[in-house]
Amino acid sequence: MDDLLLAVEAGGTKFRAAITGLDRVVRDETRIETTTPEQTLDNVIEFANGHSGIVALGIASFGPVILDRTAANYGAIGATPKPGWSGAPLLSRLVNELGVPGDIQTDVEAAAIAEQRVGAAAGLRTVVYVTVGTGIGAAVAVDGVPMRGRSHSELGHIPVRRNADDSYVGHCPFHTDCLEGMASGPAIGDRWDVSSASKLNDVDEAWIIEADYLAQLVRVLNYAYAPDKIVFGGGVGGRPDLLERLRARVAVDLADYAVHHDNPADLVTGAELPDAGMTGAALLAHSLVS
């Protein structure tokens, strides 16, 4: 009987669980609605128990997640506005029920590792993954390991310099006009009074402003971490038209200072993996048995 891995991508609206071999080829998968922690994790366990031979578990989770390994509640969900999920013992519940080693990363960390190992930044040493969608998240991976302090970073909440042509107040309930407040999908929709950023495909001004804000993040990341590559993904961040504008803006914004590329625009690329979070969860599970 082959050894199997359980990869779980925990999202605010749905969980995805997949059974893979040690080759990370998916053998079976399911989608589970995110309801209460008890019911959602019961459904994950039921799916896993339908497969014999699981030897390790990897989780890529929405945040915030308790990632201090000295904490008694390591792997639990932190304080979140999602009803009922604050303190949910995500990692410990699954590890205890399934009786296998397991570990957890944020969904953005898992995507960063996946893109560094087998995606757009394969073979590079220091990589940043940025997702721009409902929120903005970023993670730094060095040699296949996420860089953390006492917890994961919240780079979506850095302050930004307001674009001169932008009068939008901001969408963030905590900081109003931080990066996420000015450049996330909901901020774009609110600014332009549309239900989806896709309705702005031909509105150049919208994407000029968006590229300006995201280029400020690139500048911070470049000077803070000197990465080999910054990979953009997510429903907004992965748009090819935005990436081209962003690359052009980055080349101007960095002003040829401390850029470790012949062409500064080469610092930025789009995500390559369609399923980076789940791939990262499988890679994490594999690391526990390799």
Q: What is the pLDDT of residues 207-256, one digit of tens each?
A: 999 999 999 999 999 999 999 999 999 999 999 999 999 999 999 999 98
Name 10's Cβ contacts closer than 8 Å, sequence gap at least 6.
34, 59, 60, 61, 62, 90, 107
pLDDT value at residue 150: 79
> Of 272, 144, 142, 160, whose CA–CA distance to 214 is shortest?
160
Domain 4-106+275-287 has CATH 3.40.50.720: no
Residue 188 scores a pLDDT above 70:
yes
Residue 105 scores a pLDDT above 80:
yes
Q: How far apart are CA 269 and CA 283, in angstroms?
A: 22
Residue 259 scores a pLDDT above 90:
no
- Helix intervals (H) in the chain: 37-49, 90-98, 107-118, 179-183, 185-192, 204-225, 240-253, 276-287
Percent of the chain with pLDDT over 90: 89
Residue whose token pair is 């304080």: 79
Q: How far apart are CA 79 and CA 88, in angstroms?
A: 10
Could you count the other beta carbons within 10 Å of the beta carbon of residue 260?
A: 11
Residue 109 gets the label, from left (phi > 0), alpha (psi -120 to 50) or beta, of alpha
Q: Which of 38-47, 224-233, 257-266 has the lowest mean pLDDT?
A: 257-266
pLDDT value at residue 260: 84
Would you give the DSSP letter of residue 178?
B
pLDDT value at residue 198: 87
Contact status, residue 216 vs residue 166, Cβ threshold 8 Å: no
Every domain of the chain with CATH number 3.30.420.40 lies at: 4-106+275-287, 120-270
For residues 185-196, give the mean pLDDT: 96
Q: How far apart are CA 76 and CA 62, in angstroms?
A: 11
**Mean pLDDT, all residues of the chain:** 95
Residue 11 three-state SS:
coil
Query: What is the CATH topology of the domain spanning 120-270?
Result: Nucleotidyltransferase; domain 5 (3.30.420)
Residue bearing the bigger pLDDT, 204 or 2: 204
Cα dist. 232→188, 240, 260 in Å? 17, 10, 19
pLDDT value at residue 1: 64
pLDDT value at residue 151: 80
Residue 145 scores a pLDDT above 70:
yes
pTM to 2 decimal places: 0.94
Q: How far apart are CA 144 and CA 114, in angstroms?
A: 8
For residues 120-149, give the mean pLDDT: 95
Q: How far apart are CA 189 and CA 57, in angstroms?
A: 37
pLDDT value at residue 227: 96
Residue bearing the bigger pLDDT, 50 or 24: 50
- Partners of 5 in the β-ladder: 20, 56
Q: Which of 81-85, 121-125, 154-158, 256-260 has the lowest mean pLDDT?
A: 256-260
pLDDT value at residue 78: 94
Q: How far apart are CA 36 and CA 161, in angstroms?
A: 39
Q: How far apart are CA 6 and CA 19, in angstroms?
A: 5
For residues 33-48, give the mean pLDDT: 98
Cα dist. 278→6, 44, 101, 209 in Å? 10, 14, 18, 31
> Of 81, 110, 171, 175, whose CA–CA distance to 135 is shortest?
171
pLDDT value at residue 108: 96
pLDDT value at residue 81: 83
Taking the alpha carbons of 116, 268, 223, 129 in that order, is the dihedral positive or negative? negative
Cα dist. 262→105, 173, 187, 267 in Å? 33, 40, 34, 10
For residues 43-70, give the mean pLDDT: 96
> Of 218, 223, 220, whose CA–CA distance to 246 is shortest?
218
Residue 200 scores a pLDDT above 90:
yes
For residues 255-269, give the mean pLDDT: 89
